[in-house]
Amino acid sequence: MSQPFSISKVLPVLFGFFIMGFCDLVGISTSYAATEYGLSEPVANFLPSMVFLWFLIFSIPTGVLMNKLGRKRTVTVSMAITLAAMLLLVIPNNAVVCYLSFALLGIGNTILQVALNPLLTNVVKGDKLTSSLTAGQFIKAISSFCGPIIAGWAAVSLGSWHYMFPIFAVVTALSTLWLLLTPIEEELQEGKAISFGAAFGLLRSSTMLLFFLGILFVVGVDVGMNTATPKVLGERCALPVSEVGWGTSVYFLFRTLGAFIGALVLAKFSERKFFVLSMLVAVLAMLDLLLFAKSQLHILSMVAVIGFSIANIFSIIFSLALRHVPGKANEVSGLMIMGVSGGAIIPPVMGGLTKALGSQSGSMLTILACMIYLLICSLAVRKAPGKAGN
């Protein structure tokens, strides 16, 4: 049951989205780890999979846990796991420990994403849900934008990219404390425990299947751009690894701006039309990036357009899915967050195609294919009747 709007309760929940953005550290970390540990392209591209694989495995079990513990307690558990991952990554070690640490980060982030989105429905009225989710994505994008900058600063000023992790550990601890001190009323649903069968049963609805695949591919695009942008800059502009991280920061900067503007626009504008327009722009920008962009300025310009265009797609799809089956928020959240495993599926495909073609064009072709599905999805959602849109 949603409570009356209270900014003192909304803010600590929204700040949890900042912690959620820590999963995007894997983008710039992939470039640094490849250089530090001498990893090949396919092996390096498996690092994002170590983060996002757990969304496939733990999303539904987290829904079960959330029904028993409650959403707020489940969020605090996720933050404790994230804190452990940050502390483990503080000390430079070997590739195996690095992969295990990011796996732990992925587990914590999985639990966080499954629980935090429904927790927001406890403190935000239904008619403000889409714009609130978009505001959360805006905060997440700020976190993602800061990551490469802090990593570059740590590498140059402190001698190792690993030293960015104590900063994020402190932020995680403060966020956990803030949420723990905030009273949020919610109803436990022990009598309505969900299962894999119940959650996957939602996919019998063609609309829910459309949404699930939409989440899978939008996360694939996001993680793909996160990992591919530095490599495209390095390949086409012959930049060293210490400089290519700015490409990721540009992507997240414009994704942040897109999320901020989207939070304002979506409060009044049709999310279905917004979905279609955003994906048309994103597809055209990716075609330009793939076929024509050679200079650093041209590449960064198209990366900026893509980041701006893709910024609100996750929150639009998630909100539509929650409202399509309003009585099953935990089940829907578990299923949709399982789609975040697209971040584990798409990067290895990118790595394989890049190796086959001998250039980062393989990565961009993979991302373009994901975008084309999302464009098709936006058109299908726009035409579909029912509870899911406006």
Render pLDDT for 137-147 as a digit per residue (tens, 0 to 9): 788 878 887 88
Q: CB 202: neighbour CB atoms within 10 A?
A: 22
Instruction: Note whether 365 and 290 are within 8 A (CB).
Output: yes
pLDDT, residue 388, reads: 41
Q: Beta strands of the chain (E only): which ranges?
A: none
Closest-CA residue to 132 (of 315, 381, 308, 268): 315
Q: Which two tokens stand for residue 364?
A: 């961009």
**What DSSP element (H or E) covers 60?**
helix 46-69
Q: CB 111: neighbour CB atoms within 10 A?
A: 28
Give the C-alpha separation, 25 to 48, whole Å.
9
User: Which of the residues in the chain have pLDDT under 70?
Assistant: 1-5, 92, 125-130, 187-196, 198, 242, 245, 382-390
**All residues at 6 or more sequence positions from 261 whose CB lies less than 8 Å from its CB, including other chains:** none
Give the C-alpha separation, 40 to 90, whole Å.
24
Q: Which two tokens stand for residue 193?
A: 């425990």
Task: Give me the sign of the Cα torsion angle 222, 224, 225, 227.
Answer: positive
pLDDT, residue 2, reads: 45
Chain centroid offset of residue 27 CA: 11
Specify the pTM. 0.76
Q: Is 3 left (phi over 0), alpha (psi -120 to 50) or beta?
A: beta
3: DSSP letter = P
Fold designation for 8-184+193-383: Growth Hormone; Chain: A; (1.20.1250)
Give the C-alpha separation, 152 to 293, whole Å.
25
Q: Is 386 in a helix, a strand, or coil?
A: coil
Q: Which two tokens stand for residue 332?
A: 């829907």
Closest-CA residue to 261 (of 315, 320, 312, 316): 312
Q: Is 195 in a helix, a strand, or coil?
A: coil
Task: Give me the sign of the Cα torsion angle 134, 139, 143, 145.
Answer: positive
pLDDT, residue 80, reads: 94
pLDDT, residue 35, reads: 80
Render pLDDT for 253-311 as a digit per residue (tens, 0 to 9): 898 888 888 878 877 788 889 999 999 999 999 999 999 999 999 999 999 999 999 98
Give the C-alpha separation, 238 to 232, whole Å.
9
State the first-to-last Cα distance of the chain, in angstroms, to the nearest integer: 22
pLDDT, residue 309, reads: 96
Chain centroid offset of residue 39 CA: 24
Give the C-alpha separation, 304 to 140, whole Å.
17
Q: How far is CA 308 from CA 146, 251, 304, 313, in A?
A: 16, 8, 6, 10
pLDDT, residue 238, reads: 83
pLDDT, residue 5, reads: 58
